[in-house]
Amino acid sequence: MVGLATVFGAGGGTSSYREIEDTDVIVLWGSNARVAHPIFFHHVLTGIRKGAKLFVVDPRRTESARWADRWLGLHVGSDIALAHAIGREIIAAGLHNRAFVEGSTTGFDDYRAAVEPWTLEHAEAVTGVPADAIRELAHAFALADRAQMCWTLGITEHHNGVDNVLSLINLNLLCGHVGRYAAGINPLRGQNNVQGGGDMGAIPNKLPGFQDILDDAARHKFDTAWNCTIPAHHGWHLTQMFEAMERNELRALYVIGENPAQSEADSGHAIHILEGLEHMVVQDIFMTRTAQLADVVLPATAAWCETEGTVTNSERRVQRIRKALDPPGDARDDAAIIIDLAHRLGHPEWSYPDAESIWNELRSLSPMHTGMSYQRLADLGGIQWPCPSNDTLEPSYLHGRLWAEDPADRGRRAPFSPVPWAGPVDQITAEFPIRLTTGRRLDSYNTGVQTGAIASPMRQGETLDLNPDDAMRLGIDDGDMVRITSRRGSIEAPARFDAHLRPGLAFMTFHFPDEIDVNVLTIEANDPKSGTAEFKASAIRVDKIMSRVPSPVAGT
Ligand SMILES: Nc1nc2c(c(=O)[nH]1)N[C@H]1C(S)=C(S)[C@@H](COP(=O)(O)OP(=O)(O)OC[C@H]3O[C@@H](n4cnc5c(=O)[nH]c(N)nc54)[C@H](O)[C@@H]3O)O[C@H]1N2
Ligand SMILES: Nc1nc2c(c(=O)[nH]1)N[C@H]1C(S)=C(S)[C@@H](COP(=O)(O)OP(=O)(O)OC[C@H]3O[C@@H](n4cnc5c(=O)[nH]c(N)nc54)[C@H](O)[C@@H]3O)O[C@H]1N2
Ligand SMILES: [Mo]
């Protein structure tokens, strides 16, 4: 979101899901949407059936790549090199959209100079992607009438995640693939309401509706509405909070719906910091490992089925959710708990009889939500922001003004970003010769708290996935028990052969922390601009500790 906000002002994907069905070229970059965004992927499949070409850029030949016309298997962390080579090739072949670049962007000359060294051959050497595949993607993307660039964590979870994002946005600017129907730039959001959390101001620098916390007029509007004084400075993001805890500057933490004892990189270190807090409150629907470290645990209801409210998805669509089940035991609505807390902190005027009254207050303060009454949300089956009034129709895509006939109507031009390339922080050496990247499987969800609570025949348990050639060179057979060691720590897991991995690459998830806690291994190298950790690039060593125990054969 930082990258999109830098270029366009608003931190949101530019297109609607259905637009991917009407596009000519789809690039899934560092995203395994077949597994992680299956509903969105259905729209991708419809697009493919209607003739769109799919390119997948990922160091693993993922389930998503099975539907691709071309899979570009690159080295972990080499994305900027690849993006710059694509940009250079488009310019060298004269395929960029000159009118759009001249009329609606800034900084093209600096960008052209930054990509100049990235010839196809140089990029092939750095990324491992054959030059002809780079050329094919460059030409298909530039020649398409409409193209969509979609990315997720393979791009953002790096020490230079924001620069990675900017290097992809450059390509859309170069070809004018933004601000038109079915041409767009779309980061797919992770959790079902992570977009909504940001829209509501649950980020350190914005008030609800992305109103800037440094804007006096915006702040005073909220001061008056909420009877308080909002500090006129940015708060801390999660990484900065951990740093402040380590300095003993932040001494109490109120955690709602997050399990940082398992989801933080270098979790051994993170747990140590959480244990040093004077006071920690955890509000969750399960007794998580973080909750076990807390002084107070507040049992909450599950937002998606036990309460009323709204969620906002990756295409900025706000939808109603309704209570279907009574919550168990003492569990209470998240909002009710927070309102009670406000009363006890001396704000008895907080009075919201139901979720709708909270929402209506938001509509009165956040212009992009004003036209979204509960009635309209129900009638229309969800509405995308911005929706400033009761007669706003679906905006579908953002930034259409970049194409306005009259330059005066185009608003701020979108800047190119001549970002530098820098490889992963955790170095591959003789002692740590294998690159570990971490991510997701279809059958489990994040730290496994929710999916681990039910038995599923789909779930196989965690493995270290290795390229078979690498494994055999290390004397490791499929199913052998191995020790995995990084510069932070060490864990054990069964090895599994996966020929879809590039040589030198291993893969694990963070879904099974009770048995195998991968974040013991990951590096806490953060992007200074977004605070995101480099979950996607650790260096490891793998040692066999025990041969696979053959499963008993019936009758013996
Ligand atoms: N089934 C399931 N679905 C989920 C979740 C889940 O836990 N389970 N979690 C949700 C959440 S919170 C999120 S944020 C999303 C995440 O959704 P995704 O980002 O799609 O999921 P990941 O598997 O973490 O990473 C995506 C891909 O990045 C690739 N990758 C790794 N390193 C690099 C690199 O250097 N460059 C490139 N180009 N690619 C790289 C990996 O091989 C992987 O295939 O999924 C959401 N959906
Ligand atoms: N190694 C590695 N680590 C990673 C990643 C990776 O790719 N690799 N990905 C990172 C990413 S993208 C993410 S998003 C994080 C996820 O990290 P977390 O957000 O810490 O993990 P979750 O398991 O999604 O935890 C969400 C918690 O919210 C609780 N919850 C669910 N619904 C409700 C509700 O309605 N109310 C309340 N109060 N609680 C609720 C759940 O019980 C759960 O404990 O992990 C990060 N960590
Ligand atoms: Mo996420």
Give DSSP secondary structure letters for 195-237. Answer: HHHHHTT-STTEEGGGEETT-HHHHHHHHHHHTS---SS----
Question: Are both 308 and 209 inside the same structural domain?
Answer: yes
153 CB near ligand 2 (under 6 Å): yes
Nearest ligand to the CA of 535 is: 2
Same domain? 102 vs 200: no
29 lines ligand 1 (CB under 6 A): yes
Distance 260 CA to ligand 2 centre (A): 8
Considering 134, 155, 187, which residue would you say is the last residue of a domain?
187
Asked whether residue 241 is assigned to any structural domain, the reply reads: yes
Using CA atoms, how far apart are residues 275 and 292, in angstroms rounded to an integer? 10
Cα separation values, 406 from 97, 237, 410, 521, Å: 18, 40, 7, 54
Out of 155, 187, 219, a domain closes at 187
- 64-89 pLDDT tens trace: 999 999 999 999 999 999 999 999 99
- CATH code of the domain covering residue 450: 2.40.40.20
Give the residue, by CA position, lying nearest to ligand 2 atom 30. 257
Q: Who contacts 284 (Cβ-Cβ below 8 Å, separation ≥6)?
A: 255, 256, 257, 259, 290, 291, 297, 298, 299, 300, 449
SS3 per-residue string spanning 319-335: EEECCCCCCCCCCECHH
Return the exposure string of 443-467: e unless at least 16 CB atoms fall within 10 Å of the residue's CB, then b: ebebbbbebbeeeeeebeebbbbbb
76 lines ligand 1 (CB under 6 A): yes
Pocket lining: 77 vs ligand 1, CB cutoff 6 Å: yes
Domain with residue 231: its CATH number is 3.40.50.740
Residues 93 and 38 in one domain: yes
Domain boundaries, position 226? 194-384
Which atom of ligand 1 is nearest to 441's Cα? Answer: 1
Q: Report yes or no: 302 and 370 within 8 Å, Cβ to Cβ.
A: no
Q: Does residue 428 lie in a domain region?
A: no
Q: Are 24 and 110 part of one and the same domain?
A: yes
Give me the residues paired with residue 539 across strands.
435
Cα of 445 from ligand 2 centre, angstroms: 8
Tokens (6 digits) for 526: 């953060």
User: In the block, which residue shows the tokens 């710059």?
Assistant: 84
- Asked whether residue 347 falls in the same domain as residue 228, the answer is yes
Do 280 and 348 sit in the same domain of this protein? yes
Q: What is the pLDDT of residue 304?
A: 86
- One domain, residues 294 and 215: yes
Q: Which of 239, 269, 159, 150 shows the shortest CA–CA distance to 537?
A: 159
Residue 55, pLDDT above cutoff 90: yes
Query: Do 9 and 63 fall into the same domain?
Result: yes
Q: Which long-range contacts (CB under 8 A, 24 or more apart) does 127-133 make?
A: 127/74, 127/75, 127/78, 127/81, 127/82, 127/85, 128/73, 128/74, 128/75, 128/78, 128/502, 129/72, 129/73, 129/74, 129/82, 133/70, 133/72
> What CATH number does the domain containing 175 carry?
3.40.228.10
The finding on whether 187 has its CB within 6 A of some atom of ligand 2 is: no
3-class secondary structure, 511: coil
**Cα of 518 from ligand 2 centre, angstroms:** 15
Nearest CA to ligand 1 atom 12: 190
Give the chain's length: 556
> Does 376 share its domain with 451?
no
Four-residue CA torsion sign, 130, 132, 138, 140: negative
Which pLDDT does position 11 carry in this prediction? Answer: 66
Which of 132-141, 265-274, 349-358, 510-519 has the least mean pLDDT?
Answer: 510-519
Cα of 188 vs centre of ligand 3, distance in Å, is 10
Distances (CA, A) of 228 to 57, 78, 211, 217, 518: 48, 47, 17, 14, 43
User: Domain check: are 247 and 380 in the same one?
Assistant: yes
Percent of the chain past pLDDT 70, that is, above it, reads: 98
The CA distance from 405 to 553, in Å, is: 74
pLDDT one-digit tens code per residue, 219-262: 999 999 999 999 999 999 999 999 999 999 999 999 999 999 99
Confidence of residue 456 (pLDDT cuts 50, 70, 90): confident
Are 330 and 211 part of one and the same domain? yes
- Give the chain's mean pLDDT: 94
Residue 387 and residue 395 in contact, taking contact as beta carbons nearer than 8 Å: yes
Ligand 2 close to Cβ of residue 282 (< 6 A): no
Atom 44 in ligand 1: which residue has the minimum CA distance?
A: 32
Mean pLDDT across 13-26? 94
The residue from 141, 167, 187 where one domain ends is 187
Whether 32 is in the pocket of ligand 1, judged by its Cβ within 6 Å, is: yes
The rounded distance, in Å, linking the Cα atoms of 195 and 311 is 8
The verdict on pTM exceeding 0.75 is: yes
Beta carbons within 10 angstroms of residue 204's beta carbon: 15
Q: Is residue 420 part of a domain?
A: no
With respect to residue 91, please indicate whether it lies within any of the assigned structural domains.
yes
Number of domains making up the chain? 3
Confidence category of residue 12, pLDDT binned at 50, 70, 90? confident
Pick from 153, 171, 510 the residue to mutate for probing ligand 1's pocket: most ligand atoms within 8 Å of its CB: 153
Asked, for residue 552, whether it belongs to a domain, the answer is no
The reply to whether 118 falls in a domain is yes
Q: From the CA atom positions of the chain, what is the Rg in Å? A: 24
Asked if 266 and 148 sit in the same domain, the reply is no
- Whether the pLDDT of residue 554 is over 60: the answer is no
Q: What is the pLDDT of residue 555?
A: 44
User: Is residue 228 included in any domain, yes or no?
Assistant: yes
When pLDDT is averaged across residues 492-501 and rounded to a whole number, the result is: 96
In a domain, 270, yes or no: yes
Confidence tier at 551 by pLDDT (50, 70, 90):
low
Confidence label for 552 from pLDDT (cuts 50, 70 and 90): low
Four-point Cα dihedral 6, 8, 10, 11, nearest 10: -60
